[in-house]
């Protein structure tokens, strides 16, 4: 990893930590946030994944209108760290612990490595 990539990764982690703390306090079922990126293809390869405990909690989150608020928070927070993402929807997806348990036996490393795109509902699409 180049020095500039490391700086960008640190900014991403710092910004997403701020978002995570807010989400933990405000969205029932939210458990964590992470990112994956190939810096040779950055920013196009950046994927931010917001994880909820269950599908029911994620559905309730989406129905409550909180998704737009969280996406805006991610975008604005990262902008404060000089990471400007114009169309935040193309970078952020949503997933659940239960889906990972069912589809990858709880192996998030495998699940995240297989994450290539986002489905029409904004959820992680696995291949």
Give residue-wise pLDDT tens across range 91-104. 999 999 999 999 99
Please tell me whether the peptide bond between 43 and the residue prior to it is cis, using omega within 30 degrees of 0.
yes
pLDDT for the residue numbered 88: 96
End-to-end CA distance of the chain: 26
Angle, helices 3-26/66-80, rounded to nearest 10 degrees: 150
pLDDT of residue 115: 56
Q: Where are the beta strands (DSSP E) in the chain?
A: 30-36, 47-52, 92-96, 115-118, 124-126
Residue 109, CA distances (Å) to 8, 34, 90 in order: 21, 11, 21
Give CA–CA dist 14/79, Å, rounded: 12
Q: Across all residues in the chain, what is the average pLDDT?
A: 90
pTM of the model: 0.88
For residue range 4-34, list pLDDT tens digits in order.
999 999 999 999 999 999 999 999 999 999 9
Per residue in 65-82, pLDDT (tens digit) is 999 999 999 999 999 999
Residue 127 pLDDT level (bands cut at 50, 70, 90) = very low
Residue 90, both tokens: 């193309």
């Amino acid at each position: 990893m180049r020095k500039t990539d490391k700086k960008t990764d640190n900014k991403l982690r710092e910004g997403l930590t701020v978002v995570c703390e807010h989400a933990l306090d405000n969205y029932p079922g939210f458990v964590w946030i992470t990112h994956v990126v190939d810096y040779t293809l950055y920013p196009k390869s950046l994927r931010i994944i917001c994880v909820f405990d269950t599908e029911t909690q994620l559905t309730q989150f989406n129905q409550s209108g909180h998704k737009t608020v969280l996406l805006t928070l991610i975008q604005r927070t990262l902008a404060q760290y000089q990471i400007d993402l114009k169309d935040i929807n193309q970078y952020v997806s949503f997933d659940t612990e239960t889906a990972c348990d069912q589809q990858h036996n709880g192996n998030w490393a495998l699940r995240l490595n297989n994450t290539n795109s986002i489905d029409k509902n904004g959820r992680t699409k696995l291949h």
